[in-house]
Structure 1
């Protein structure tokens, strides 16, 4: 998710605000020389703690306080999702239901999807926004393996999906998928609960 932010602008703004605050505080307390350096080092320590707190989970609190960030930056997708899979394979087609857990931090996203027959593990998930519409979505690459005791045991396979967040709600993801065993289909994911 952090790759969606204009990092160089963000760093410039944070550094500029910090420099301005150090100058202001030093001027107000009449500090000079060593006292100004001490103030600056304390400020750096506090700023690092704040940025660390945001990175490890504080960003979700900020998103709750300012819900518009779900539209401006990227939605908080953390939670349990019900998944409807429409599949096509070797002139056959059908439907399958599954459950997914999306775990999202400021630095990464993972999707763990499981059904009664298989489980998938995340190889890569990359959040993105459409260049023209700014509609958020996920590029998702996964490895799928059959679960022990599955009625139809299948060889592990690699798949990829391009999921887009619904224009009506951040609680629906839709998209097409394809795999290295020549299967394809569509995912429809609906949020079942937040974690």
Structure 2
């Protein structure tokens, strides 16, 4: 979203051009005509803030004004990893997780919660592909809980999710980490709310171990 200083600058340039054109055409410009400028800046700032926070995802704006999938909420996730337990030499079964997404018209953050760790996005963005589909690109930091640090260190990774809809019910993608592991991620069954812990997310989805 544009800052107030940016809005003021762009509106100021617009007013300067408008005044210049009026003077060039011989139309007199008086100071009272410019007095509402600060009110206009405040009004535009308020409108942009409201749009960025709440209105951007209204169906009426989708497609022509906003091209961004609506991901806000908490998703049930399944992770399939190629990680091998060094103590056993065996792989691991699919991991149940929850993806907590907070989103506005200009910002996106993701947090992945599992029973052993949490991953938080360092940066995240949405790219509109030439075929009209969307790619969600995420760089993240994973922090395992202290009881699991002996076999799983803090690490960084990246994730790419794809969807064909601006109101998706399912997202699929893959991830890779600086521990040289890769895997797939599938998001389904979105709910409202933003639980802070894995246990809270289980309760929200009424998941039974």
Whether the TM-score (by the shorter chain) exceeds 0.5 is yes
- SS of equivalent residue, structure 1 residue 47: helix
- Which of 77, 102, 108 is residue 83 of structure 1 equivalent to? 77
> Residues of 2 paired with 1:50 and 1:166: CA distance?
30
Match of 1:174 in 2: 172
Cα distance in 2, alignment partners of residues 168 and 53 from structure 1 = 20
Q: Find the counterpart in structure 2 of residue 8 from structure 1.
A: none
Is the CA contact 2:70–2:166 (under 8 Å) kept in the aligned structure 1? no
**Superposition pairs of residues 10-29 of structure 1, within 5 angstroms:** none
Residues 165 and 45 (structure 1 numbering): CA distance in 2 closer, same or farther, change over 3 Å?
A: same
The aligned counterpart of 1:148 is 146
Distance in 2 (alpha carbons) for counterparts of 1:71 and 1:109: 18
User: Counterparts of 1:70 and 1:150 in 2: how far apart (Å)?
Assistant: 48
TM-score w.r.t. length of structure 2: 0.68
Q: 1:64 aligns with which of 37, 58, 63?
A: 58
Counterparts in 2 of 1:70 and 1:93: CA distance versus 1, 3 Å: farther
Structure 1 residue 107, shift from structure 2 partner: 2.8
Q: 2:108–2:124: 8 Å Cα contact kept in structure 1?
A: yes
Task: Note the residue ranges of structure 1 that are not aligned, 5 or more in a row.
Answer: 3-10, 24-31
SS of 1:77's equivalent in the other structure is coil
Instruction: Decide which moves more: 167-176 or 82-91.
Output: 167-176
Which residue among 33, 36, 48 is the counterpart of 2:33? 36
- TM-score normalized with structure 1 length: 0.72
Tell me, yes or no, if the aligned pair for 2:57 and 2:105 is still in contact at 8 Å.
no
Any stretches of 5+ residues in structure 2 without a counterpart?
2-6, 20-28, 85-89, 194-209
RMSD (Å) for aligned C-alpha atoms: 3.3
Does the residue aligned with 2:58 lie in a helix, a strand or coil? Answer: helix
User: What does 1:98-177 align with in structure 2 at a 5 Å threshold?
Assistant: 98-130=97-129, 132-150=130-148, 153-167=151-165, 170-177=168-175
Cα deviation code 1:148-176 (max 9, x no counterpart): 34497411121111111245951221101
**Higher mean C-alpha displacement, 116-125 vs 168-177:** 168-177
**What is the aligned partner in structure 1 of residue 192 from structure 2?**
194
Q: 1:49 to 1:148 in 2, by over 3 A?
A: same
